[in-house]
Amino acid sequence: MDFEVSEFQTELADGIRRLCEGAFPLEEIRRTESTERVVDRAGWARLGEAGVFHLCLAEEAGGVGLGLAEAALVYEELGRALVPGPLVASHLAAGLVDGADDGSVVVGLVERPVPGAVGTSSLPVVVEHLADLDVLLVLSDAGIERLEPASLDATHLPRPMDPLTPVWSLPVLPAGEPVAGPDVAGWWRRDGAVLTAALQVGMAQWACDLAVEYAKGRVQFGRPIGGFQAVKHLCADMAVRAEVARCAVQAAAVTVDQADVGDADVAAAGAKLLADEAAVTNGRSCIQVHGGMGFTWEVPAHLAYKRARVLATQFGGDDALAESLADALAAD
Amino acid sequence: MDLRYSDAEQAFRNDLRAWLEATLPGLPTKPSPDDWTGRRAYDTHWQRLLFDAGYAGVDWPVEGGGRGSTAVEELIFKEELERAHAPYVGVNFVGLLHAGPTVIAEGTPEQRARFLPPILRGDEVWCQGFSEPNAGSDLASMRTRAVRDGDDYVISGQKIWTSHAEVADYCELLVRTGPEDSRHRGISWLILPMDSPGVDIRPLHTIAGSTEFAELFLDEVRVPVANRVGDENDGWRVTMVTLSFERGTAFVGDLLEAIELLTTSVALARRTGAWADPGVRRQAGHLKAELDALYALTKRNVSQAARTGIPGVGGTYFKLAYSETRHKLGEFSLALLDRAGLAAHDLEGIDGEGLLPAGTMVEDWLRGISLTIAAGTSQIQRNIVGERILGLPKEPQAATGRKG
């Protein structure tokens, strides 16, 4: 047993971090705020070239043949850089949708609402990134369907909660062309939860780093505010939360890769639950440390908080995840 | 990142499991919690069994007489003991986990030969005299004074939180040998025989009603200078060195106990019907996620220690997160008992299904409170994370080098 990140894995993650610093600097990303399109095609292709989307695809299928553990490390870096776009959907679709693997085709994913599900009446279907998509996939227990984004009669919502996640609404999702069955849907839910959780961990860490940097430089009462316990302890809790969630996410990814070390579905649900909480809470704390400036668009603290809220709705919300973990406890 | 155990690790586990299966049924009945003579006998007998089987000091280096196991084997050792419900380390805690490793690292050959084997065999029990009524979080402000008189130190002062003092043979004692305001530069580490004249013990009841705590009053107690470990006034460093023996496994037994308590709580919730409440189920699910994540963090810490021999920052992260989760778990199980939790002992349910585990749960809830206080409060831990890991500015050190 050796649960330490290997040298190779560290190098892989470092490479993606450098790529993001070059291809997705925050000031560039922010140019597309509140527009209909946030996916930079050239940047997306560079991610494809770097293997981000086909990392887990078998070598004979043109992929890199690595595990979800490596993908989770890569996605943590994408989260840390706040890279916008349907990153997880394109990874899952590699091998199923031509061009998803090399980043030449941008694939989105939306969950098909279950008719009559508690608390969903009156609510429209909301789809992210529609204008950027070449293909929209629909996930349900029955499997995966394919829709042509242009064919949808969707309404663009001009003021999205996250300025870097444009959204559309439509009353109902039409039936699409079935492209995969329930087995694939099952592992997409599991792997999608782990990779989304990895993005959340990256953002939780980013929010912590941003808050710490600000707390060191901002002076009030003649001292950097990070010297006051009230602020210092907020920062310490952010660091702890990110690290605990990181371990959960990496353990879940390894549990997917290695048979017999645990229940991968349970590990994925737990990881997503904690990573959502870490990203949301750290985003909120980061705003708090920034005080009044945190309430403005002048500092990017709000971006992580809002994106965390977006990702927390994907591949299982808190209540659904907690219920699935409770089911696992009751089955023991 | 690899969560699979190697063949050698699996073999270590299988051997240990077989030994536990053969050995545990032969143990005597557990003494009552306040029968300290009985508890000492029980715990030291268990230590002797471990010694005879080659499992004493599994985490001690070979040169100290231990097994010199890897950090991963330590993890397996603690997992298997907890799984088999083997006795807790009990009164041997300070000797095995603190005083012994300190003597290994800093003691003279004579001190090692004299004090280490009896700890491993369960012949001698140790307690700890570090904190004082006025030196808690600020340990370096301690005042218990040791004055040289020929070949002896003459010690006067008061210590507190001295667990198992009434059954201990020796105490690892921190004393002030430097000037009054010398703080961490004027402390020495001494071995105090507990039967020395002038040592007075007053038991303290813990919040859970148990009596393992004590205050220690020292009135002109004479301790030979030969009982000093490390140099005079170098006791602070000597104490810190021991912390490097911590390889991330300190809370493994405790964590596995918590996982079991969650299972017991879920069984109780299903029995009482509380499980029909989505709020209860979600709380349970959330606790499972947290405990599983803490287990993963433990494995990360152990893996780092196995590679580098040095514990990383993960131990501090673990303690902060775990103490909070444990508190939530305590509150969760207490709520399930509703008013039956007003009894701090197991009581008969009215469903004919036997006892309700109120005793375990109430005690656990109360004991859990100590986790946010002992070995550095959560507030001190957050200062450590903020200052040493995140590099935030330090607290004002008004007392440093001056009278505090």
Model pLDDT for residues B169-181, shown as the tens digit of each residue: 999 999 999 999 9
Render pLDDT for A15-65 as a digit per residue (tens, 0 to 9).
999 999 999 999 999 999 999 999 999 999 999 999 999 999 999 998 999
Calculate mean pLDDT across residues B236-248: 77
Residue among A244, A246, A324 with most chain B CBs within 10 A, to mutate: A244
Alpha-carbon radius of gyration of chain A: 20
Contact state of A233 with B379 under an 8 Å Cβ cutoff: yes
Calculate mean pLDDT across residues B283-295: 98
Name the helix (H) or strand (E) containing B257. helix B252-272
Interface of B with A in 316-335 (CB under 8 A): 317, 320-321
Dihedral (C-alpha) A194, A198, A204, A210: value to the nearest 10 degrees?
-170
B304 contacts in A (CB within 8 Å)?
A: 4
User: Among the listed ranges A57-66, B159-168, B394-403, which one has the minimum average pLDDT value?
Assistant: B394-403
Compute the count of residue pairs across chains A and B with CB atoms less than 8 Å apart: 184
Tokens of B246: 């911590």
Whether chain A has a CB inside 8 Å of the CB on B386: the answer is yes
Contact state of A262 with B390 under an 8 Å Cβ cutoff: no
The answer to whether the beta carbons of residues A218 and A233 sit under 8 Å apart is no
Contact state of B4 with A245 under an 8 Å Cβ cutoff: no
Domains and CATH numbers, chain B: 7-88 (no CATH), 126-232 (2.40.110.10), 252-389 (1.20.140.10)
Tokens of A48: 């494809």
Q: B276, B271, B275: which is closest to B351 by C-alpha?
A: B271
% of residues, chain B, pLDDT over 70: 96
pLDDT range class, residue B357, cuts 50, 70, 90: very high
Shortest Cα–Cα distance, A302 to chain B (Å)? 22
Render pLDDT for B304-334 as a digit per residue (tens, 0 to 9).
888 877 667 788 999 999 999 999 999 999 9
Name the helix (H) or strand (E) containing A139. strand A135-140
CATH architecture, domain defined by A184-331: Up-down Bundle (1.20)
Interface of A with B in 232-261 (CB under 8 A): 232-233, 235-237, 239-241, 243-245, 247-248, 250-251, 253-255, 258, 260-261
Q: What is the pLDDT of residue B400?
A: 46
User: Among the listed ranges A177-181, B117-121, B137-141, B304-308, which one has the minimum average pLDDT value?
Assistant: B304-308
Contact state of B317 with A5 under an 8 Å Cβ cutoff: no
Contact state of B307 with A319 under an 8 Å Cβ cutoff: no
Whether chain B has a CB inside 8 Å of the CB on A316: the answer is no
Distance, in Å, from the CA atom of A147 to the CA atom of A175, rounded to the nearest integer, reads 8
Q: What is the pLDDT of residue B384?
A: 92
Distance, in Å, from the CA atom of B300 to the CA atom of B256, rounded to the nearest integer, reads 16
Contact state of A248 with B284 under an 8 Å Cβ cutoff: no
Tokens of A208: 């912590």
Distance, in Å, from the CA atom of B210 to the CA atom of B240, rounded to the nearest integer, reads 29
3-state helix, strand, coil in chain A (%, to 5): 55, 10, 35
Q: Which residue among B3, B379, B382 sits closest to A254, beta carbon to beta carbon?
A: B3
Q: What is the pLDDT of residue B244?
A: 59
Shortest Cα–Cα distance, A218 to chain B (Å)? 12
Q: Which residue of chain B is at minimal alpha-carbon distance from A223?
A: B393
Helices (H) and strands (E) in chain B, counts: 12, 10
Render pLDDT for B146-161 as a digit per residue (tens, 0 to 9).
999 999 999 999 999 9
The answer to whether the beta carbons of residues B270 and A330 sit under 8 Å apart is yes
Q: What is the pLDDT of residue B403?
A: 37
As a residue count, chain B comes to 404
Count of alpha carbons within 13 angstroms of residue B124, beta-carbon side: 19
Distance, in Å, from the CA atom of A305 to the CA atom of A259, rounded to the nearest integer, reads 35
Indicate whether B399 pLDDT > 70.
no
Whether chain B has a CB inside 8 Å of the CB on A5: the answer is yes
Residue among B6, B390, B395 with most chain A CBs within 10 A, to mutate: B390
B381 contacts in A (CB within 8 Å)?
A: 236
Alpha-carbon distances of A316 from A89, A100, A324, B150, rounded to whole Å: 14, 23, 10, 73
Q: Does domain A7-181 have CATH number 1.10.3720.10?
A: no
Alpha helices in B338-387 (DSSP H): 358-368, 378-384
Q: What is the pLDDT of residue B63?
A: 85
The answer to whether the beta carbons of residues B120 and B56 sit under 8 Å apart is yes
The answer to whether the beta carbons of residues B145 and B175 sit under 8 Å apart is yes
As a residue count, chain A comes to 332
Burial of A8 (0-12, 13-18, 19+ CB in 10 A): exposed
Distance, in Å, from the CA atom of A161 to the CA atom of B73, rounded to the nearest integer, reads 50
Distance, in Å, from the CA atom of B400 to the CA atom of B404, rounded to the nearest integer, reads 7
The answer to whether the beta carbons of residues B392 and A208 sit under 8 Å apart is no
Tokens of A51: 């293997």
* Category of B111 on φ-ψ map: left (φ > 0), alpha (ψ -120 to 50) or beta: alpha
The answer to whether the beta carbons of residues A241 and B325 sit under 8 Å apart is no
Same-fold call for A7-181 versus A184-331: no
Q: Which residue of chain A is at minimal alpha-carbon distance from B296?
A: A247
Secondary structure letter of residue B183 according to DSSP: G
% of residues, chain A, pLDDT over 90: 96
Alpha-carbon radius of gyration of chain B: 22
Render pLDDT for A76-114 as a digit per residue (tens, 0 to 9).
999 999 999 999 999 999 999 999 999 999 999 999 999
* Category of A228 on φ-ψ map: left (φ > 0), alpha (ψ -120 to 50) or beta: beta
Q: Which residues contact B130 (CB under 8 A, 6 or more apart)?
A: B139, B142, B159, B161, B172, B174, B239
Indicate whether B60 pLDDT > 60.
yes
- Residue spans of the domains in chain A: they are 7-181, 184-331
Name the helix (H) or strand (E) containing A21. helix A7-23
Q: What is the pLDDT of residue B249?
A: 79
Catalytic hit among B80, B124, B172, B246: B246
User: Among the listed ranges A179-183, A233-237, A250-254, B391-395, which one has the minimum average pLDDT value?
Assistant: B391-395
The answer to whether the beta carbons of residues B345 and B359 sit under 8 Å apart is yes
Shortest Cα–Cα distance, A170 to chain B (Å)? 31
Q: Which residue of chain A is at minimal alpha-carbon distance from B5?
A: A1
Q: Which residue of chain A is at minimal alpha-carbon distance from B298?
A: A247
Q: What is the pLDDT of residue B311?
A: 65
Contact state of B5 with A1 under an 8 Å Cβ cutoff: yes
Whether chain A has a CB inside 8 Å of the CB on B299: the answer is yes
pTM of the complete model: 0.95
Q: A137, A124, A139, A155: which is closest to A36 by C-alpha?
A: A155
Render pLDDT for A104-141 as a digit per residue (tens, 0 to 9).
999 999 999 998 888 888 999 999 999 999 999 999 99
Shortest Cα–Cα distance, B351 to chain A (Å)? 20
Indicate whether B396 pLDDT > 80.
no
Q: What is the pLDDT of residue B356?
A: 96
Whether chain A has a CB inside 8 Å of the CB on B274: the answer is no
Q: What is the pLDDT of residue B401?
A: 42
Residue among B392, B394, B395, B397 with most chain A CBs within 10 A, to mutate: B392
Q: Which residue of chain B is at minimal alpha-carbon distance from A70?
A: B1
Contact state of B292 with A233 under an 8 Å Cβ cutoff: no
Neighbours of B321 (CB within 10 A): 22
| Residue type for position B167 | V
Q: Which residue among B75, B285, B386 sits closest to A326, beta carbon to beta carbon?
A: B285
B246 is catalytic: yes
Q: A163, A150, A253, A156: which is closest to A201 by C-alpha?
A: A253
State CA A56 to chain mean position distance: 17
State CA B348 to chain mean position distance: 33
Tokens 């003691």 correspond to what residue?
B107
Whether chain B has a CB inside 8 Å of the CB on A303: the answer is no
